[in-house]
Amino acid sequence: MKNLFLLLTLAIILISCTHKDQLIEIEPPDPYDHVYGKLKTGKSLYSILLDNDVSYQDAYKITKELNTLYDLRYSHPNDSFHLKIDSLGVVQVIEYSPNKIEKYIVARDSIDEFEVFQEKLVLEKNIRLLTTILKSSLYETLVDGGLDPQLVMKFSDIFQWDIDFFIDPREGDTCSIIYEAFSHDGEVLKYGNILGASYQGKLYDLTAYYYDNGGKVHGYYTRDGKSFQKAFLRSPLNYSYISSYFGMRLHPITKQVWLHSGVDYAAPLGTPVVSSADGTVIHKGWKGGHPTPQGYTGGYGNTVMIRHTNGFKTLYGHLNAYVKNLYVGKRVLQGEVIGYVGSTGWSTGPHLHYTIYQHDSPIDPLSLNNVSGPPIPNEYIDEFMDSVHRVDKLFEESRKTFLQSIFG
C-alpha cells in the first residue's frame, strides 16, 4: 500500500512537469459594474454622476479633479463617459472622453481620494490627395469626392479674398487639394493643414502653398511667395445676387436718380454679415444718409460702420440684428460676424447695403485694388521653394490618378 502511494505521487509529479506549459490561467471575475453613456443637452457630468447614484461628495471631488486637466465648461452633448462601480455601489473609476483622441481617467486611490491622468492616442499622419471637377456646387462636389466638410470650409477660406464661391464657380472647374489626415487603426480621427490648394477654371487659375516656419511667418502663398490674404474680403456675406451696383440709379422708393454709393447684396433674412477687414467699430445703430430724401432719417436702418487702416471705412446697412457683444470701440477681425441681413430703413426687401469709403469718399467695392499681406521674407524663400516643389509633385500625382480614374 505504501509503495502504491509513492507510485501515485511520482505519477502526479511527472504529469505536472510534462504539462506545466499547458496549464490554463483563469482570469479573476470583473469586480465592477460598468455604466456607459453620453452627455445629453442640458445635462452636466456632475448631474450624470448623481443620476447614477454617485454621492454628492464623490461627484464634487470627481468633477473638481477632472477640471484640473479638462475644463468641463467646454463639455458638449455626445461627450462619452464610462463608470466603474464596485459591489458596494461606490464609483471607483470614471473615464471621460470629449473626443476620440483624448481620454481623462479619474480613479479613487488608497486613501479614498481621487487622482486624474490623461491618455492620448498616438496618431499616424499621412498625406492625402484629391482632384475633382465641379459638377454642382463646390461644397457638394468636394464632399461627394470624399472630402470632409471642415476641409471644404478651409479650402474656401484660402481663396476667399479672390473667389466668391457663392456665385463664381462654374461647372467643369477643377479643384486639387493636398491635406494632412491623422488616423488610428485605419480610422481618420482628425485633419491637419491643407498643404496645397488649386482652383482652375473659366474665371480663375489659382494655386496656394502652405508655409509655416514655426514662428511669425505662416499662411498661404502664391508660387512666388505673395500672400493670398488681402486687406478686404471679396464680399462680406454669402448672397443670392447683386441687386444694385455702385453708380447712378433710379431709386426704387423715391423714383429719383441718385448716386448709389455702394453695392446691394440680395440675401435671405438672417444671413450672417462679416467684417470685410480688421478694424474698429465706429458706429452701431440706426443711421440715415444717402439715399434718403431731405426731411427723412434712417435710410440705412440698422447699420454698422468699421474704421480700417490707411483711411478706409466700411458700412453695412439694412441689418435685421447685430451680433451679441458688438459695441462702438470694439476691435473686430476680418471674417468676424457683426450682424445679420435685414430690410430695415429704406429697403424694398432683405439685402445688405455695403459701402467702402477711402478718406470719406465712397468707392466701388467691386473695383477695389485689394492689397496683399506681407510676402515670404527673403531669408525664408529657399525653404519655402523646397516646400513648393514637394507640393507640386503631389499635385502632379493627384491629377494623374484622377485622369486614370476617368480614362483608365
Containing 176, the helix (H) or strand (E) segment is strand 174-184
CA 334/CA 339 separation, integer angstroms: 14
| Beta strands 114-120 and 351-358, pairing class | unpaired
Give, in degrees to the nearest 5, the angle at Cα 330 between 325 and 332: 95
Amino acid at position 365, single letter? P
Asked whether the predicted pLDDT for residue 12 surpasses 80, the reply is no
* Per-residue pLDDT tens digits for 135-182: 888 888 999 888 999 999 899 889 988 887 877 888 899 999 999 999
Tally the C-alpha atoms within 13 A of residue 395's C-alpha that lie toward its C-beta: 19
Residue-wise pLDDT for 228-245, tens only, equals 988 888 888 887 667 566
**pLDDT range class, residue 16, cuts 50, 70, 90:** low
Please give the single-letter amino acid code of residue 242. I
Q: How confident is the model at residue 251 (pLDDT cuts 50, 70, 90)?
A: very low
Q: What is the 3-state secondary structure (H, E, C) of 318-377?
A: EEEEECCCCCCCCEECCCCEEEEEECCCCCCCCEEEEEEEECCEEECHHHCCCCECCCCC
**Does 2 have pLDDT greater than 50?**
no
Tens of pLDDT, residue by residue over 24-50, are 566 677 788 898 989 888 888 999 899
Taking the C-alpha atoms of residue 225 and residue 208, their distance in angstroms, rounded to an integer, is 10
Q: How far apart are CA 302 and CA 285, in angstroms?
A: 5
Structure confidence by residue, pLDDT tens digits, 326-358: 999 999 998 899 999 999 887 878 999 999 998
Q: State pLDDT tens for residues 373-404.
A: 889 999 999 999 999 999 999 999 999 988 88
Domains of the chain: 33-120 (3.10.450.350), 122-230+373-408 (3.10.450.350), 241-367 (2.70.70.10)
